[in-house]
Amino acid sequence: MKSTVLFSLASVLLLSGCSQQIQSTSTPFQAITSFYDYQLLSPTGLPLSLSTLPNEIIKADVILVGEWHTHAAIHRFQTDLFKELSATNPKLALSMEQFSRNKQTVVDDYLSGKIGEQTLISDAKAWPNYESDYRPLVEIAKAEGRDVIAANAPKPIVKCIGQQGISYVDKLDIDEKSWLAENIDLTDSPYKSKFLASMHHGDEEQTQKQFAAQMTWDATMAESIVNYISDHPSSQIMHIAGKFHIENGLGTAAQIVKLNPKLNVVVISPIEKASNDGSDYQLEVLAPPKRFVKQENMMKAYKAIKNRNNDLVCK
């Protein structure tokens, strides 16, 4: 009887040990039930944990994290990922679409404690959702003495390029030109085809001008990242930007590789349904609510944006 009990106990302990081993080497899928929930997935759709990131991410030179702007779960993930990378990498820096090059000194002054947050928000022209969505990232960088790269081109200049085309750059002075990428490639590419296919207003000439504005945005962010790495060898950069700018290795991602093919670039794109045939790491979240149901409401919003852009005074 005693031997039977000992055998049973040993069996339970053995099974328990196997169970624990299985749990420690696999990552349970996080149920996505609210706009705060996310699940990181490999390009083949396998669930990943931030505490056991694959080497491809840990050792990447540049990690591009796409977002649907104002999506709570995505911004939560960005903060969690930056904290995780920061815990082990002393040369980690944050790069942001949300600040432009001409505001770099303002961002630096905030990080060094020379100005307060409200001055940062007003003088650096922070996005309206800065306090709710981007403050956590910047505050981690500030607390740990990390650089924040104001990577983007100034929005007024980009909008004027969208109105007048790339020739608008010729009207800028030397300082203004330094706020943009030196080379803005408008030749045919998979990214250009994707962009043109996404436009629905039917004005071909205007669409080409808008693509010039889009590429100014992408090329400037890419150049800002590559320049930083050139000035700070062995650094790692986590860059946040809208999903369209980085997904499938296009846009900013492609421009980075074009400028420096030696850099290891990893892309993490938000998705609403996992797949197993992509090139990006996937961040599964709830899809944003449908922006418009009625066609007339969509056109009304489009016209309002167009009128607002037309009010911009360009050179």
pLDDT, residue 113, reads 98
Cβ–Cβ under 8 Å, residues 88 and 144: no
Cβ–Cβ under 8 Å, residues 73 and 37: yes
The pairing of strands 92-100 and 62-67 is: unpaired
Cβ–Cβ under 8 Å, residues 208 and 166: no
Alpha-carbon distances of 56 from 53, 82, 108, 264, 281, rounded to whole Å? 8, 16, 30, 9, 10
pLDDT, residue 25, reads 40
pLDDT in tens, 206-240: 999 999 999 999 999 999 999 999 999 999 999 99
**DSSP secondary structure, 202-253, as one string:** --HHHHHHHHHHHHHHHHHHHHHHHHHHHHSTT-EEEEEEEHHHHGGG-THH
**SS3 string of 2-60?**
HHHHHHHHHHHHHHHHHHHHHHHCCCCCCCCCCCCCCEEECCCCCEECHHHCCHHHHCC
pLDDT in tens, 177-186: 999 999 999 9
**pLDDT mean across residues, the chain:** 90
The owner of tokens 């000035």 is: 231
Dihedral of alpha carbons 181, 184, 190, 196, sign: positive
pLDDT, residue 26, reads 54
Cβ–Cβ under 8 Å, residues 63 and 239: yes
Gyration radius of the chain's alpha carbons: 23
Span of 16-25, 78-87, 88-97, 162-171 with lowest mean pLDDT: 16-25
Span of 15-29, 69-83, 245-259 with lowest mean pLDDT: 15-29
Cβ–Cβ under 8 Å, residues 195 and 250: no
Q: Which CATH class is domain 36-310?
A: alpha beta
pLDDT, residue 203, reads 83
Whole-model pTM over 0.85? yes
Domain boundaries, the chain: 36-310
More confident residue, 229 or 8: 229
pLDDT in tens, 105-164: 999 999 999 999 999 999 999 999 999 999 999 999 999 999 999 999 999 999 999 999
Q: How far apart are the two ends of the chain, measured CA to CA in Å? A: 95
Question: Could you count the other beta carbons within 10 Å of the beta carbon of residue 257?
Answer: 17
36 has pLDDT over 80: yes
Alpha-carbon distances of 90 from 82, 120, 149, 230, 236, rounded to whole Å? 12, 25, 16, 17, 9
314 has pLDDT over 70: yes
pLDDT in tens, 242-289: 999 999 999 999 999 999 999 999 999 999 999 998 899 999 999 999
pLDDT, residue 129, reads 97
204 has pLDDT over 70: yes
